[in-house]
Every structure is written in structure tokens, then in C-alpha cells.
Amino acid sequence: MTGLQPFDPTALLLIALLNPVVALVAFLMGRSADQPQKIVVAAFAAALAGSVMIWIVTWLRLMPVRGSGGEAGLLVLQMLFGLGWAYFGYTLRANRK
């Protein structure tokens, strides 16, 4: 009987940081937000879109699947980075007015 394999926090950080879907969705939704409260929603939607993209990539076997234990952390990290991208998009929109 084997236990769960430990996850690599550095790999999770890099996957969340370099996920182009998170950056694109959060930035575009942040630019279209008309209130600053909506950047949190944009970050959450970007994290979900990034998670779907990671699922598709692993389903296509383009990225290896590792042991369990880091999925929730990856979602949270993607949301944090998405929050930054959404805020950046929101400030660019606010500067145009």
C-alpha cells in the first residue's frame, strides 16, 4: 500500500504564475469591470478557467499528472495572480477615462 506522493510547492507556484489563461481572462475581465469590487469576481473566474485549461492539458497528456494534494493550493494561487492581473486591467481602464 502506497501513500500519497508529496507535491512540489515550487511547481504549483510556477504553474499558477505562468498560466496564460489566468492572465488573459483576469486582465480582460478587469478591463471590462466598472466597479473595483468586480475584480475579485474576475480573479475567481480566471482561476476557474485556468483550472479547466490545466485539466485539458493533463487529459491530453501534454503535462504529467502528479500526486494529489496541491489542487486547492493551485486554485488559490491562480486566484491571487488573477487578482493582480484583474487589478492591472482595471487600472488601465480607469486611466482611459
- Between these two residues, 5 and 90, which has the higher pLDDT value? 90
Mean pLDDT of 50-56: 92
Mean pLDDT of 77-84: 96
pLDDT of 11 above 90: no
* Number of domains the chain is built from: 1
Mean pLDDT of 52-59: 90
- 46 three-class SS: helix
Query: What pTM value is reported for the model?
Result: 0.84
Residue at 35 is within a domain = yes
pLDDT of 65 above 80: no
Residues 6+ apart with CB under 8 A from 22: 16, 46, 47, 49, 50, 78, 81, 82, 85
Joined together, the cell numbers standing for residue 45 give 473566474
Residue at 7 is within a domain = no
Quick one: pLDDT band at residue 1, thresholds 50, 70, 90?
Answer: very low
Residue at 9 is within a domain = no
In the numeric block, the cell 482595471 is attached to: 90
Residue at 14 is within a domain = no
Residue at 86 is within a domain = yes
Of the candidates 72, 84, 92, the residue with the CA atom closest to the CA atom of residue 46: 84
Residue at 4 is within a domain = no
Mean pLDDT of 47-66: 87
Residue at 42 is within a domain = yes
Residue at 3 is within a domain = no
Containing structural domain, residue 45: 19-96
